[in-house]
Structure 1
Amino acid sequence: MEKELQEAGVVQGKLWHPRRVLITPEALKLAHGQAMLSRAEQLGAEVIKLKANRLTGFTAEDERSAYAHAKTSFAIVISPPGQRRLQPIPPSADWQFHIAQGCPAHCQYCYLAGSLSGPPVTRAYANLPEILEGLYEYLGKGTITSKSRERAEEGTTFEASCYTDPLGIEHLTGALAESIRFFGAWEAPVQLRWTTKFDAVDHLMKLDHHRRTRVRFSLNAASISRDFEGGTAKLSQRLRALRKMALAGYPVGLTIAPIMPVENWRGEYSTLISDIAQSLVGVPNIDLTVELITHRFTPTSKDVLIGWYPKKTLDLREEVRTQKRTKFGGFKYVYPKDSMAEMQQFFRELLTQRLPGSKILYWT
Structure 2
Amino acid sequence: MQGAPELAPKDCAPAQGPRRSVRLWRPRRVLATPAALEHAHGRAMLARAEALGIPVERLRANRLAGLGGPDPRRAYAEAKATLALTVAPPTKLRLQPIPPSADWRFDLAEGCPAHCQYCYLAGSLSGPPVTRAYANLDAILGNLAGYLGRGAVTSGSDARAHEGTTFEASCYTDPLGIEHLTGSLSAAIRHFGAWEAPVQLRFTTKFAAIEPLLGLAHNRRTRIRFSVNARPAARYEGGTDGLDARLGALRAAALAGYPVGLTIAPILPMADWAAAYDGLIRDAADALTGVPDLDLTAELITHRFTPGSKTVLQGWYPGSDLPLDEGVRARKLTKFGSVKFVLRKPVMDAMRAHLTASIARDLPAARVLYWT
What CA distance in whole angstroms lies between the structure 2 residues aligned with 1:111 and 1:43?
Answer: 30
The reply to whether residue 276 of structure 1 matches residue 284 of structure 2 is: yes
The reply to whether residue 320 of structure 1 matches residue 334 of structure 2 is: no
Do the aligned residues in 2 keep the contact of 1:251 with 1:288 (CA within 8 Å)?
A: yes
Match of 1:166, SS? coil
The aligned runs of 1:189-268 (5 Å cut-off) are 189-225=198-234, 227-268=235-276
The reply to whether residue 54 of structure 1 matches residue 96 of structure 2 is: no
Match of 1:118, SS? coil
What CA distance in whole angstroms lies between the structure 1 residues aligned with 2:52 and 2:165?
Answer: 37
What CA distance in whole angstroms lies between the structure 2 residues aligned with 1:310 and 1:51?
Answer: 36
Do the aligned residues in 1 keep the contact of 2:68 with 2:127 (CA within 8 Å)?
A: no
Do the aligned residues in 1 keep the contact of 2:23 with 2:207 (CA within 8 Å)?
A: no
The aligned runs of 1:299-314 (5 Å cut-off) are 299-314=307-322
What CA distance in whole angstroms lies between the structure 1 residues aligned with 2:51 and 2:273?
Answer: 43
Match of 1:175 in 2: 184
The reply to whether residue 115 of structure 1 matches residue 124 of structure 2 is: yes
Match of 1:63 in 2: 72
What CA distance in whole angstroms lies between the structure 2 residues aligned with 1:167 and 1:12?
Answer: 15
What CA distance in whole angstroms lies between the structure 1 residues aligned with 2:69 and 2:248?
Answer: 40
Match of 1:340 in 2: 348
Match of 1:104, SS? coil
User: More deviation in 51-60 or 101-110?
Assistant: 51-60
The reply to whether residue 29 of structure 1 matches residue 26 of structure 2 is: no
- CA shift for structure 1 position 357: 1.2
Do the aligned residues in 1 keep the contact of 2:220 with 2:258 (CA within 8 Å)?
A: yes
Match of 1:328, SS? coil
Match of 2:299 in 1: 291
Q: Which of the numbers 161, 170, 173 marks the counterpart of 1:164?
A: 173
Q: Which of the numbers 15, 22, 26 marks the counterpart of 1:13?
A: 22
Match of 1:89 in 2: 98
Match of 2:337 in 1: 329
Do the aligned residues in 1 keep the contact of 2:23 with 2:208 (CA within 8 Å)?
A: no
What CA distance in whole angstroms lies between the structure 2 residues aligned with 1:182 and 1:12?
Answer: 29
What CA distance in whole angstroms lies between the structure 2 residues aligned with 1:165 and 1:198?
Answer: 8
Give the aligned CA root-mean-square deviation in angstroms: 1.2
What CA distance in whole angstroms lies between the structure 2 residues aligned with 1:249 and 1:16?
Answer: 26
Alpha-carbon displacement from aligned partner over 1:203-259 (angstroms, at most 9, x marks no partner): 11111100000000000000102x100000010000000000000000000000000
The size of the alignment, in residue pairs, is: 358
- CA shift for structure 1 position 30: 1.0
Unaligned runs of 5+ in 1: none
Do the aligned residues in 1 keep the contact of 2:176 with 2:185 (CA within 8 Å)?
A: yes
- CA shift for structure 1 position 59: 2.0
What CA distance in whole angstroms lies between the structure 2 residues aligned with 1:82 and 1:329?
Answer: 22
TM-score by length of 1: 0.97
What CA distance in whole angstroms lies between the structure 1 residues aligned with 2:52 and 2:312?
Answer: 30
What CA distance in whole angstroms lies between the structure 1 residues aligned with 2:285 and 2:368?
Answer: 15
The structure 1 segments of at least 4 consecutive aligned residues displaced by more than 6 Å after TM superposition are none
Alpha-carbon displacement from aligned partner over 1:23-79 (angstroms, at most 9, x marks no partner): 111101111001111111222221111111111121222111110010000000000
Do the aligned residues in 2 keep the contact of 1:167 with 1:200 (CA within 8 Å)?
A: yes
Match of 2:144 in 1: 135
What CA distance in whole angstroms lies between the structure 2 residues aligned with 1:14 and 1:345?
Answer: 35
TM-score by length of 2: 0.95
Do the aligned residues in 2 keep the contact of 1:197 with 1:219 (CA within 8 Å)?
A: yes
What CA distance in whole angstroms lies between the structure 1 residues aligned with 2:347 and 2:224?
Answer: 29
What CA distance in whole angstroms lies between the structure 2 residues aligned with 1:250 and 1:216?
Answer: 10
What CA distance in whole angstroms lies between the structure 2 residues aligned with 1:42 and 1:312?
Answer: 37
